[in-house]
Amino acid sequence: MSRIGKKPVELPSGVTATVSGQTIEIKGPKDTQSFTATDDVTIAVEDNAVTVTPRGSSKRARQQWGMSRTVVANMVTGVTTGFKKELEINGVGYRAQMQGDVLKLSLGLSHEVNFEVPAGITVTAPKPTQIIVEGTSAQLVGQVAANIREWRKPEPYKGKGIKYKDEYIFRKEGKKK
């Protein structure tokens, strides 16, 4: 039994959910999102809550059960409050700034990196060493933050690079004489 899948997803006030076949559409104050589930699960809206139940007891149905419920819960959170990832830049001369919808990163490379921000995501750089990625889709926010971090991952000796705000960098000791 999926512990996550068993729990219904409560719909807060101002959020509506409509199911047509295997597709669920959730409308909220910030955005409208839809998700098409596989044929292994059934999605139903009852008493201001969304329930996901598996069709059968196959391994795939049980996997899709918990995953589908989590996706629906993330959609409800996204259309009400949204998602946010904060990145920090460490290193001498490393900085970021927004110019229109392009994030310009100076990361010690021979050139400046121009990162195009995709639609549906807002990226801000309140300080030259801080980047905030916000949006309504948990998957898209996480992917954009990971793509920005990919340009210069933090290294273990000095910690230079782009890291998540709450990330711990395991430090190594340098060479000894």
HSE, CB side, 13 Å, CA atoms: give it for residue 9: 27
Express each pLDDT in 133-157 by its tens digit. Answer: 999 999 999 999 999 999 999 999 9
- Give how far Cα 51 sits from Cα of 20, 40, 134, Å: 14, 14, 28
The helix or strand, by DSSP H or E, that contains position 10, with its residue range, turns out to be strand 9-10
pLDDT on residue 127 = 93
pLDDT value, residue 104: 95
The sign of the dihedral angle between the CA atoms of 19, 24, 28, 32 is negative
**102-116 mean pLDDT:** 93
89-102, pLDDT tens digit by residue?
A: 999 999 999 999 99
Q: How confident is the model at residue 177 (pLDDT cuts 50, 70, 90)?
A: confident
Helices assigned H by DSSP within 11-137? 59-80
Tell me how far the alpha carbon of residue 140 is from its chain's centroid: 5
Query: Whole-number mean pLDDT of the chain?
Result: 92
Q: What's the pLDDT tens digit per position in 42-82?
A: 999 988 999 999 998 899 998 899 999 999 999 999 999 99
Residue 1 has pLDDT above 70, yes or no: no
Contact 124, 130 (CB under 8 A): no
pTM of the predicted structure, to 2 decimals: 0.87
